[in-house]
Amino acid sequence: MFRIGLYLAANFAILAVLSVAFRLFGIDSLLAANGVDLNLTALLIFAAVLGFAGSLISLFMSKTMAKAAMGVHVIATPRDATERWLVQTVHAQADRAGIGRPEVGIFDHPSPNAFATGWNSDDALIAVSTGLLRHMNRGEVEAVLAHEVSHAANGDMVTLALIQGVVNTFVIFLSRIAGLLFDRLVLRIERGYGPGFWIVSLIMEMVLGILAMAIVMWFSRWREYRADAGGAALAGRHNMIAALERLRQAQNAPPLPEEMRAFAISAGRVQALFASHPPLEKRIAALRTSA
């Protein structure tokens, strides 16, 4: 809750600073002189509410959606030695990381993969694929679990959702300004919103949305290095490197659904700028040089 409060406070502080800056630099007056009847403060508040709504709703529903999307079997009572070992390992790692014990689950998927999700560090879900259990030894699986526990301990799911909310806010804010300026200054529409407003706003949302995605994915890549380091601390650097090497060998296996890739340990082969994960080669190299 402290992390959520901090990010919300930071975002509203940014909105307040922008609002004051618009007045100090006379942007409000300039817009008014050109017939642009725009209440920037109201627009900022509207953009913040709209920008955060989707990301926060998704965050609070993340465990439920992940279970449904991936068909996760949550291990309430272990049915065999493997399930018992998974639960004991995750709980021991969570205790060492200083977070509440996550739910542990298994989902049916051929690729070796795992993900962490949940709205806070003490209410997380760690799930592994059947492919992971088939293709990795216990030391490697332990490292993957430690990587996911580190995501939960670092609050990465919360932080990613809040960063998404911040960039959404400014995408909405700037696209609406561009649309209204086009209406008033180019089309000379004096009242209400003409077609230019909606068309330009939509185009700018798409353009700015691409730039915003690049920012969010940059953070997502950075958090993977942190989780790898956390996994190495909990399960041993050798095991973490071995697990990533195993994932590198399986990069051509079927990836997880798009909505789950950002939370998984591996996203398969990725494109640099909009990738949620760094290349496995770079992650392995970072671990090898961090002794």
Active site residue ranges: 148
Task: Match 């995750």 to its residue by tokens.
Answer: 90
* CA–CA separation, 18 and 233 (whole Å): 42
CA distance 154 to 183: 45
C-alpha distances in angstroms, 165 versus 4, 215, 275, 290?
A: 11, 12, 19, 33
- What the block records as the tokens of 78 is 């272990």
Q: Is 64 exposed, middle or buried, given 0-12, 13-18 or 19+ CB atoms closer than 10 A?
A: exposed
Coil, strand or helix at 117:
strand
| CA dist., res. 202 & res. 274, Å (int) | 21
